[in-house]
Amino acid sequence: MAGVLDKIELKDCISRRVTEYYVANPPVAEQITHTQSVAAYTRLIAAGEGWEYGRVELVEMAAWLHDIGCPVARKLYGNSLPVHQQEEGRKLVAEWLREEPRLSEEEKGWLADVVGGHHRFDAARELHFEPLFEADLIVNLLEGYYQQSQAAHFYDKMMTTETGRMLFRSLFLGTEEGKDKPK
């Protein structure tokens, strides 16, 4: 149980550090709200899929970290396009977690790889972070980063978990619970 408790404590430390990082690197409100939402949906989807508790904590850590490359990307490239935020985020995660004793080297590498590929569907499948990928897609749609008219396409092509599909249907497709295809 100590390992799971260490992960919970570490996740809380990471969420505080990410929040403090965004406060120091505006725009603050949008970035914090986005990250909190993605973390909450990630946890909801992973738990809904029956993931083991320690694994839920780890993927939620990844959700808290997923966009930390955005401020650096904006400074270096003038934008936070996925390619830039993922590259810079991967570096930051590796730096932030380098001396972290509560994570194995494998977990540290996985977290860096997830942040470095969190916008890529193939990476989500390969590294098995579908709850985070789906949560970020949901929040990006809610925030208007993608057009609502694309929702059915995203549902068909990128939503793979049952929990994510149910949530996506109820938020964007107006279908009855239990139906697997949009009307």
- CATH number for position 69: 1.10.3210.10
In a domain, 182, yes or no: no
More confident residue, 1 or 169: 169
In a domain, 46, yes or no: yes
In a domain, 181, yes or no: no
Mean pLDDT of 129-158: 96
What confidence score (pLDDT) does residue 1 get? 47
What confidence score (pLDDT) does residue 183 get? 40
Q: How many angstroms from the chain centroid is the CA of residue 25?
A: 19
In a domain, 93, yes or no: yes
Mean pLDDT of 95-123: 97
Is the pLDDT confidence value at 125 over 80?
yes
In a domain, 18, yes or no: yes
In a domain, 26, yes or no: yes
Instruction: Tell me the pLDDT tens digit for each residue of 42-89.
Output: 999 999 999 999 999 999 999 999 999 999 999 999 999 999 999 999
Give me the domain span that covers residue 83. 2-173
What confidence score (pLDDT) does residue 8 get? 78
In a domain, 89, yes or no: yes
**Number of domains into which the chain is organized:** 1
Q: Please answer whether residues 118 and 66 qualify as being in contact, where contact means their C-beta atoms are separated by less than 8 angstroms.
A: yes
Give the count of beta carbons closer than 10 Å to the beta carbon of residue 91. 15
In a domain, 124, yes or no: yes
- Only one residue has tokens 């049952």, namely 162
State the amino acid at position 83 in one-letter form: V
Return the biggest CA–CA distance within the chain. 51
